[in-house]
Structure 1
Amino acid sequence: MDNQQYFMGYRRPDGKVGVRNHVLILPTITCATQAAQQVTQLVHGTVSFIHQHGCTQVGVDYDQTFRTYVGVGLNPNVYGVIVLGLGCETHQARSVAEEIAKSGKPVETVSIQENGGTLQTIANAAKIAAKMVQDASAIMREPCHVSELIVGTECGGSDACSGLSANPAVGYVSDLLVKAGGTAILAETTELIGAEHLLANRAVDDRTVERVYEKIKQAEGRALMMGIDIRTGNPTPGNIAGGLSSLEEKSLGAATKSGTSPLQELIDYAETPTKKGLVWMDTPGQDIEQLTGMVAGGAQVVLFTTGRGTPTGSPIAPVIKISTNTPMFNSMRENMDLNAGTIIEGRETVQSVGQSIFEEIKSVSSGKLTKSEILKQNDFGIWRIGPTF
């Protein structure tokens, strides 16, 4: 066995592999998020999140939120799920639970209205969670090949160094992972505007080429509907302060996270890749929403590069934060896991830093905690594509 290509993970009933062993308290409606938080405070080993979704949503917006709930519950890092609902919401807890249960993992539902209020709901959910956590603790890690990993990639708070250091290093990792048989997700459609032709040229078929230009056109169209030409509306003030002059410059740097591998497919937000290799997920550029989408699509680990600095993390997947420059790394050591600023300084190469990131993925996948996990940075947000009714 080539130990360089293995990590220690948790094998799930559906054959997938997790790098964490969470019991998820999944609130399907914003009204249930506080009760879910109370359960996590009572029961060690549980995770949850705050959000503002789950009711008065219709059509494709309803479908996307539902897909995200289910995808988060199906993520291999989750051992079991308690779906916590109010009772009268649009996104019914039982419907979400039924879809998650198809994976074979333990799933229970609890309703605030059926339990006669918040306090009894918390008590009942906590009892179920305590048993589920104990059962989860009996599951042992086992050797798993890196080909079973889906690694999400994103950049937030970019600067002039992003496209020269951390992003190319992540691209090198993406190629290593693809070569090993794994899957890398490229996201942030709005931050690929101006670089779409480079990815289209690497698409494996005509349909993927069509979807590349289709999704870019849709992203620009959404901005135009609000009277904004996104090509002049970006970068954000922080990006400008960091030395980026235009959206195209930012996009060319962001695209380097994809490496050089062929683009296998372009999937919708929170969808699970159907192919191995490099996959583009259509997400917004907003850090939390795109992170949630990739996790709902099955990403067990996320690589997050930043030049300006951000504490962003996920309740489900460990997020490895990679600094693009050394001054920021030194000033935000409590949030940063790795420093790619050594590339700018000439002390390391893209390849050597990329290899270090690849090794970090295996360490984190085997149980090493990231800075965002240690600081309980459990960020969660769903990309809404419709109005609230």
Structure 2
Amino acid sequence: MTLAETHPEPALRGYLRADGRKGIRNTVVVAYLVECAHHVAREIAWPFRDADVHLIGFPGCFPNAYAQRMMEALCTHPNVGAVLLLSLGCESFDKYGLAHAVRQSGRPVETIVIQATGGTRRSIAEGQAWIETQRAALDAAETVPMAVSELIVGTVCGGSDGTSGITGNPAAGRAFDMLIEDGAACIFEETGELIGCEHIMASRAITPDLAGILEQSVAKAARYYATLGYGSFAPGNADGGLSTIEEKSMGAYAKSGSSPISGLLKPADRPPRGGLYLLDVVPDGEVRFGFPNINDTAEIAELIACGSHAVLFVTGRGSVVGSAISPVVKICANPETYRRMADDMDVDAGRILEGLASLDDVGREIRDLVLSLAQGARTKSEELGHREFALTYKSFEPIGPACLPAA
């Protein structure tokens, strides 16, 4: 009997897109292009909140290349089947460029300009009618077979405590190793929470040039934080038993697993093939926009913009956030937190601390849960309707070829 017969690949299903990528969801995105259009967009999406219609948007009135690129990547994500854009009319966001990118991807797209349509009520009515039509077409779509090697999975940690680095994060790392072994692409972040681990991380790079780039990305984060006068260490971390940024960094680093590092990405860059990738979320150049990310939700959005079909979220103190577009798997590191917040958590990694499961046991559970999402299963945050989203101003330089030697 062959290995394939004894360990058959799970029967995953996906929605085939015109560019050849496959999504595990078939979502309609309603995207506002300035805060002034947020209310109208929210009212359009609200009646469809149980029908995979998700709200995202950029609040700024002034143009930003990062936000433009993020919105193009999100609106053409493989989990997205159709896109409705909401413009006030006088903002600087390039709505025509975004609509063109979505149209070129083969997805239906409609742009409502509130000033031209005639205001709030008419825009809401027009938008809801369009969504009804698109939702009916997407609901009739059939899935096609999907391989594990076609999956992209991200990971982030938030609300960390003293248990995060010894249960939830290393268990997520074990899940990453298992997924990568089957050909998936996995993305971890963020460089500001890897300070002190850069040399260890660099030793796993597949080329010497990439090793140098990984170290430089962490050094950039350290300089950025020093300029702002803070570090990636919150009062809640200390209350949860963490003592230093180095201790937090070791815990955060654990969620990368042990696979070789194949490349470095910046927001909206996609992995060219399977393997492990570091996402650098700290802006390039001088400090201009304040905090690299104002909350965990902004980091999740960047992982999704890199193509993540799903995101692993490890928490010790507890978090309830989910995300638009891609499901978020909640991994609870602390057994007491899990018992208190079980309705919001998908995986109880705290069992490791209590001697009820091993890291490999929980790693396999996380891996299997990710695969089940491509078989129709839904996460706790999806069932509860969590679709948090945040996008702000940033600035990045393009990555060079040494960042992706695996390409």
Q: Fold conserved (TM > 0.5)?
A: yes
Match of residue 185 from structure 1: 187
**Structure 2 residue identity aligned to 1:340:** A
Question: For 1:295 and 1:229, how far apart are their aligned partners in 2?
Answer: 27
Choose from 251, 254, 257 the match for 1:256.
Answer: 254
2:125 maps to 1:141: no
| Residue 177 of structure 1, CA deviation | 1.1
2:61 maps to 1:55: yes
Match of residue 44 from structure 2: 39
2:33 maps to 1:28: yes
Structure 1 residue runs without a partner (length 5+): none
**Structure 1 residue identity aligned to 2:87:** G
| Residue 8 of structure 1, CA deviation | 2.1
Question: For 2:201 and 2:185, how far apart are their aligned partners in 1?
Answer: 16
2:357 maps to 1:348: yes
**Structure 1 residue identity aligned to 2:60:** G
Structure 2 residue runs without a partner (length 5+): 282-291, 396-407
Match of residue 24 from structure 2: 19
| Residue 237 of structure 1, CA deviation | 1.1
| Residue 314 of structure 1, CA deviation | 0.3
2:214 maps to 1:205: no
Q: Indicate conservation of the 8 Å contact 2:33/2:57, yes or no.
A: no
Query: What is the 5 A alignment of 1:265-276?
Result: 265-276=263-274
Match of residue 197 from structure 2: 195
Q: How many residues align?
A: 378
Indicate the larger mover: 101-110 or 20-29.
Answer: 101-110
Match of residue 129 from structure 1: 131
**Structure 1 residue identity aligned to 2:85:** V
Match of residue 300 from structure 1: 309
What is the DSSP-based 3-state SS (H/G/I as helix, E as strand, rest coil) of the residue aligned with 1:379?
Answer: coil
**Structure 1 residue identity aligned to 2:353:** I
| Residue 165 of structure 1, CA deviation | 0.9
Question: For 1:366 and 1:84, how far apart are their aligned partners in 2?
Answer: 32
Question: For 2:104 and 2:189, how far apart are their aligned partners in 1?
Answer: 27
What is the DSSP-based 3-state SS (H/G/I as helix, E as strand, rest coil) of the residue aligned with 2:321?
Answer: coil
Q: Indicate conservation of the 8 Å contact 2:194/2:250, yes or no.
A: yes
| Residue 326 of structure 1, CA deviation | 1.2
| Residue 119 of structure 1, CA deviation | 1.5
Match of residue 11 from structure 2: 6
Q: Indicate conservation of the 8 Å contact 1:153/1:185, yes or no.
A: yes
When the two structures are superposed, what TM-score results if normalisation uses the length of structure 1? Answer: 0.93
2:73 maps to 1:75: no
What is the DSSP-based 3-state SS (H/G/I as helix, E as strand, rest coil) of the residue aligned with 1:123?
Answer: helix
Question: For 2:141 and 2:58, how far apart are their aligned partners in 1?
Answer: 33
When the two structures are superposed, what TM-score results if normalisation uses the length of structure 2? Answer: 0.89
Choose from 293, 298, 318 the match for 1:289.
Answer: 298
Choose from 308, 322, 330 the match for 1:313.
Answer: 322
**Structure 1 residue identity aligned to 2:379:** T
2:392 maps to 1:379: no
Question: For 2:355 and 2:32, how far apart are their aligned partners in 1?
Answer: 48
Query: What is the 5 A alignment of 1:100-179?
Result: 100-179=102-181
Q: Indicate conservation of the 8 Å contact 1:183/1:276, yes or no.
A: yes
| Residue 53 of structure 1, CA deviation | 2.2
| Residue 348 of structure 1, CA deviation | 0.9
CA gap of 1:383–1:186, structure 2 versus 1, over 3 A, is: farther
What is the DSSP-based 3-state SS (H/G/I as helix, E as strand, rest coil) of the residue aligned with 1:64?
Answer: helix
**Structure 1 residue identity aligned to 2:270:** T
Q: Indicate conservation of the 8 Å contact 1:36/1:48, yes or no.
A: no
2:234 maps to 1:236: yes
| Residue 49 of structure 1, CA deviation | 3.0
CA gap of 1:30–1:306, structure 2 versus 1, over 3 A, is: same
| Residue 209 of structure 1, CA deviation | 2.0
**Structure 1 residue identity aligned to 2:241:** G
State the Cα deviation string for residues 116-147 of structure 1 (Å, max 9, x = none).
21211111111111111111011123331111
**Structure 2 residue identity aligned to 1:180:** D
**Structure 2 residue identity aligned to 1:179:** E
CA RMSD of aligned residues (A): 1.7
What is the DSSP-based 3-state SS (H/G/I as helix, E as strand, rest coil) of the residue aligned with 2:342?
Answer: coil
**Structure 2 residue identity aligned to 1:355:** R
What is the DSSP-based 3-state SS (H/G/I as helix, E as strand, rest coil) of the residue aligned with 1:258?
Answer: coil
Match of residue 214 from structure 1: 216
